[in-house]
């Protein structure tokens, strides 16, 4: 069965621009979480969506937002990009919670110049 698909794989944006990243979860998975990975910081939790509702949110500024559609696909948006937003953004999906398996996509590498 298809895994978690993230698009695009690579992205270069200019400071001040905005960006939208997409995540298609495994078929049947209703929970989608987003993480930011930077060197030395590990994976920082951004937010989690379940059945189109945001269930959890990490400690990121309001420039970071997301949503989930009725087919469980999720998008993450970052507005007014800063150089420090350069990172690997990872999406993970599961049926309902981490106990049921938590599968990551390959990520979107965002570079802000």
Partner 1 sequence: DQQVKQNSPSLSVQEGRISILNCDYTNSMFDYFLWYKKYPAEGPTFLISISSIKDKNEDGRFTVFLNKSAKHLSLHIVPSQPGDSAVYFCAARNSGGYQKVTFGTGTKLQVIP
Cβ distance to partner 1 smaller for residue 55 or 63: 55
User: What's the min distance (Å) between Cβ of 20 and partner 1?
Assistant: 19
Find the radius of gyration of the CA atoms of the chain. Answer: 13
- Cα dihedral 49/55/59/62 (nearest 10): 70
Q: Residue 42, exposed/middle/buried by CB under 10 A (0-12, 13-18, 19+)? A: exposed
Residues interacting with partner 1, by CB under 8 A? 4, 6, 31, 33, 35, 40-45, 48, 50, 55-56, 58, 90, 92, 94, 97-99, 101-107
User: What's the min distance (Å) between Cβ of 93 and partner 1?
Assistant: 10
User: What's the min distance (Å) between Cβ of 105 and partner 1?
Assistant: 5
Cβ distance to partner 1 smaller for residue 41 or 70: 41
């Amino acid at each position: 069965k298809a895994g978690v698909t993230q698009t695009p794989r690579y992205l270069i944006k200019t400071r001040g621009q905005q960006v939208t990243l997409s995540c298609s979860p495994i078929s049947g998975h209703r929970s989608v979480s987003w993480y930011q990975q930077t060197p030395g910081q590990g994976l920082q939790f951004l937010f989690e969506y379940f059945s189109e509702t945001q269930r959890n949110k990490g400690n990121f500024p309001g420039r970071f937002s997301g949503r989930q559609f009725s087919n469980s696909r999720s998008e993450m948006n970052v507005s007014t990009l800063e150089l420090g937003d350069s990172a690997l953004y990872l999406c993970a999906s599961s049926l309902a919670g981490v106990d049921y398996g938590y599968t990551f996509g390959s990520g979107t590498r965002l570079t802000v110049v």
